[in-house]
Amino acid sequence: MTALALTIAGSDCSSGAGIQADLKTMQHFHVHALTAVTCVVSETPLVVRRVHAVPVEVVADQVELLLESYPIGAVKTGMLFSAAHVAAVAQLLHRYPAIPLVVDPVMIASTGDPLIEDDAIAAYRELLLPRATVITPNLPEAECLLGQRIDAHELERAAAALATAFDTAILLKGGHLEQEDCVDLLYHQGRVTRFSSPRWPTAASHGTGCTLSAAIAAHLALGEDLVAACQLGKEWINQTLRHSLSWNVAGFPRIDMLNQGTQLTGHG
């Protein structure tokens, strides 16, 4: 039977992040992706020009219908935009506590543009994060959730603090640190696992968080345990970076993007 995963996220018209990145990633791992669209975003890796939120009741109806209709093996949330969106999604997911939930707390685009309303952060903390199987914040998102700065020597302490605060596993991503290697740290059941990889010389960072969390959700839907799912997700990100795409045409700005295309071989 084909595994199923549900992604609840925004639409990126450049197809580098959001629902489009999730679809490509889950398809790569032979997982059928169901989608609930929360926002329609006019963006490229260089600019976020407009965000149009899908009405909360429409988002909730998509999620409810899919949860009622399919044997979903894992759920991933991405851009949820507002407190009302977070609350509606959290309420529905609490009805299905056995389904693994990967929460990518999308708050800020790679361009620096905000992607959620201010009051959504409190709703994340109170309603959604305690339901998660694993939360996958980057450093700015972790700092926002903790309310304090994190440096390279505090990753383990910060991950432990987040895990304690929300009673869940934390995959703290270290890609924003100015280090030779990219180190992500999984804090799970009191144990720390580090996933390290060389930093690839590419500007294709747009969509890395979406792609990684989608890969983790896909592997959870396939029955992998959390450590293995995170390891395989990290390997997949390395592939998409290593084979990244770029367009450098006269008269247009250079654009670099991850390559989640089906021409990539293997599962990591």
Residue 146: Cβ-neighbour burial (10 angstroms; 0-12, 13-18, 19+) = middle
Distance CA(124)–CA(134), nearest Å, equals 13
CA distance linking residue 131 with residue 136, whole number of Å: 13
Is 267's pLDDT higher than 60? no
- What's the pLDDT score for residue 176? 56
Instruction: Give residues with Cβ within 8 angstroms of 128, minimum separation 6.
Output: 77, 80, 86, 89, 90, 93, 103
Neighbours of 91 (CB within 10 A): 15
Given a cut of 50, is residue 268 above it in pLDDT?
no
Query: Per-residue pLDDT for 4 more than 90?
Result: yes
Write the CATH number of the domain with boundaries 4-257. Answer: 3.40.1190.20
Answer whether 136's CB lies under 8 Å from 102's CB: yes
Tokens for 144, please give them.
């926002």
Token readout for 137 is 């914040």
Residue 138 has pLDDT above 70, yes or no: yes
Model confidence band, residue 177 (pLDDT cutoffs 50, 70, 90): low
Question: Distance (Å, rounded) from C-alpha 5 to C-alpha 156?
Answer: 30
Tell me the average pLDDT of the chain: 90
Cβ pair 266, 235 in contact under 8 A: no
pLDDT digits (tens, 9 = 90+) for 191-204: 999 998 777 677 77
Query: What residue spans define the domains of the chain?
Result: 4-257
**Mean local confidence (pLDDT), 241-255:** 87
pLDDT given for residue 127 in this prediction: 96
Predicted structure pTM score: 0.93
Task: pLDDT band for 57, please (50, 70, 90 cuts).
Answer: very high
Distances (CA, A) of 104 to 70, 208, 256, 262: 22, 11, 22, 23
Of the listed ranges 46-50, 66-70, 259-263, the one predicted with least confidence: 259-263
